[in-house]
Amino acid sequence: MRAVLVLLLVGACSFSGSAGGDGQPPIDGQPLPSELGIDAPEVIDAAPAPWLTGYTHRRRIDLLSPSEPLTNFVLLVQLESDADLQLVADPSGQSIRFTLADGVTLTPWEVELYDADEGTLAAWVRVPQMRAGEALYLYYGSSSPPAEPAQPIWDDSIYSLVMHFADPGNGPWQSATADNDSMAVPSGATGPAGVFAPMGVGRRFGGNDRIELDAGGSDRLQFGTSSFSFSVMMKTPTNLGQWDMPFYKGGSNAGQAGFDMELGTGPWRTCISDGDNQGASSILCADFIPESTPILDQWHWLTTVVNREAQKLQAYRDGMLQDEVDITAIGDLDTTTRLMVSNMNYKFNGDVDELRVYRSTLTAAWIATEWANAFDADTVRRIGAPESP
């Protein structure tokens, strides 16, 4: 577990479970849970589970969706201004533990944001089988908590990079994955400020702000002709140019191999290129939002799926598929270009959080559940009242 106490961030702390995440109303075109295949919440009546030894308080967390299981999904559990957490949990948060439905089997977790005085918690929890009808327990209030499980939180077979950007200061910011790759401010650039985001803490970019992934981490993001996926949460108040880039690892033209996201005055899109410099047969793009209709000053979760089995490049926005194109003509995507947030030539103005790269093709159900976990959490999980032995 890595506990992070974050202070003096831009904006007010708010973890609303409704669409918008930061208290904003649903945006035009934002999907309803039913459109995403998210099941309606149901009343779950379960017998009390045994207790983890040495604890005085716990909360049951019922999982409400999806109907089909997602293996080793990582769920965000958030509490805000929670009176019981303020009174009982220790100031450091070191006694916080999560178990499976039996009440005693520990499951890996990490704490991104914790403030005992405010009763605030944002924790990521590995769920072996994420589906409706399953449950977890959150434990707190122990002077002798059990050892943490050795199993990683973020399954290495699924996740290549997971950036929370929660570490305070001016970086570097470590990936939550086992490789511990990090992103830092390169020479000649400035560091982005901290900002509260729907899923914890993000970074606010503007001016000359830019960060890059270290060389070793960038080298691990080489997928050749294999399938993979990548995503980022973002919000921008205004476009700076035609191609503002919150995610860039090459791929912005036919002569440069790699993959990116381009959000500007043109269409918001994701592109891949094999760098063969053969025009349209070397670079292809799919649209998150068609030209001239960007939705500004709202949080979005953008996900790209490079599906080599189906030979499709798919662009998802806010949990729903927006566009897909055939990529049969595209070859090897490997590049020595480092991963950047805000390209030095195509800068990004706005907030970024939860930048992720996945080693495989994400399913529509996985993408929909990740979005709902951030922006409509009450359709994904229900946190019960405090319990005592």
Looking at per-residue confidence, does 121 or 281 come out higher?
121
Identify the pLDDT of residue 217: 86
Looking at per-residue confidence, does 167 or 73 come out higher?
73
Tell me, yes or no, whether 200 and 319 share the same domain.
yes
pLDDT higher than threshold 60 for residue 11: no
Tell me, yes or no, whether 96 and 177 share the same domain.
no
* Residue 6 tokens, joined: 């974050």
pLDDT higher than threshold 50 for residue 22: no
Q: Examine residue 369 and state whether it is found in any structural domain, yes or no.
A: no
- Position 35 confidence tier, pLDDT thresholds 50, 70, 90: low
Contacts of residue 327, Cβ cutoff 8 Å, sequence gap at least 6: 272, 284, 306, 308, 311, 312, 313
Q: Examine residue 146 and state whether it is found in any structural domain, yes or no.
A: yes
Tell me, yes or no, whether 130 and 253 share the same domain.
no
List the strands of the sheet with 244-253, edge to edge. Answer: 173-174, 182-184, 211-213, 340-341, 244-253, 256-263, 268-273, 283-289
Q: What is the mean pLDDT of the chain?
A: 88
Chain position carrying tokens 């977790």: 109
Identify the pLDDT of residue 178: 87
Once rounded to an integer, what is the mean pLDDT over residues 95-106?
97
Domain with 104 in it: 33-151+374-383
CA neighbor of 139 nearest in space, from 66, 49, 15, 46: 49
Q: Please, is 91 exposed, middle or buried when counting C-beta atoms within 10 Å of its C-beta (0-12, 13-18, 19+)?
A: exposed
Tell me, yes or no, whether 172 and 280 share the same domain.
yes
CB distance 284 to 272 below 8 Å: yes
Tell me, yes or no, whether 218 and 92 share the same domain.
no
- Position 245 confidence tier, pLDDT thresholds 50, 70, 90: very high
Each residue's pLDDT tens digit, 320-330:
999 999 999 99
Identify the pLDDT of residue 216: 86
* Residue 36 tokens, joined: 């995403």
Once rounded to an integer, what is the mean pLDDT over residues 254-282?
89
Q: Examine residue 46 and state whether it is found in any structural domain, yes or no.
A: yes
* Residue 274 tokens, joined: 């094999």
Identify the pLDDT of residue 161: 96
Each residue's pLDDT tens digit, 167-199:
878 889 999 998 889 999 999 999 999 999 999
Contacts of residue 187, Cβ cutoff 8 Å, sequence gap at least 6: none
Once rounded to an integer, what is the mean pLDDT over residues 69-81?
96
Identify the pLDDT of residue 279: 66
pLDDT higher than threshold 70 for residue 227: yes
Least confident of 275-279, 287-291, 314-318: 275-279
Once rounded to an integer, what is the mean pLDDT over residues 365-380?
96
Once rounded to an integer, what is the mean pLDDT over residues 241-265?
94
pLDDT higher than threshold 90 for residue 278: no
Q: Examine residue 121 and state whether it is found in any structural domain, yes or no.
A: yes
Each residue's pLDDT tens digit, 135-149:
999 999 999 999 999
Identify the pLDDT of residue 89: 82
The residue count of the chain comes to: 389
Tell me, yes or no, whether 194 and 86 share the same domain.
no
Tell me, yes or no, whether 53 and 189 share the same domain.
no
Tell me, yes or no, whether 104 and 165 share the same domain.
no
Each residue's pLDDT tens digit, 285-308:
999 998 767 789 999 999 999 999
Tell me, yes or no, whether 165 and 41 share the same domain.
no
pLDDT higher than threshold 60 for residue 80: yes
Domain count, the chain: 2
Q: Examine residue 102 and state whether it is found in any structural domain, yes or no.
A: yes
Identify the pLDDT of residue 18: 34
Tell me, yes or no, whether 223 and 135 share the same domain.
no
Tell me, yes or no, whether 164 and 215 share the same domain.
yes
Identify the pLDDT of residue 13: 42
Q: Examine residue 64 and state whether it is found in any structural domain, yes or no.
A: yes
List the strands of the sheet with 135-140, edge to edge. Answer: 97-100, 135-140, 57-63, 381-383
CATH assignment of the domain containing 355: 2.60.120.200
Identify the pLDDT of residue 48: 81
Express as a percent the part of the chain with pLDDT over 70.
Answer: 87
Q: Examine residue 26 and state whether it is found in any structural domain, yes or no.
A: no
Tell me, yes or no, whether 379 and 328 share the same domain.
no
Q: Examine residue 28 and state whether it is found in any structural domain, yes or no.
A: no
- Position 31 confidence tier, pLDDT thresholds 50, 70, 90: low
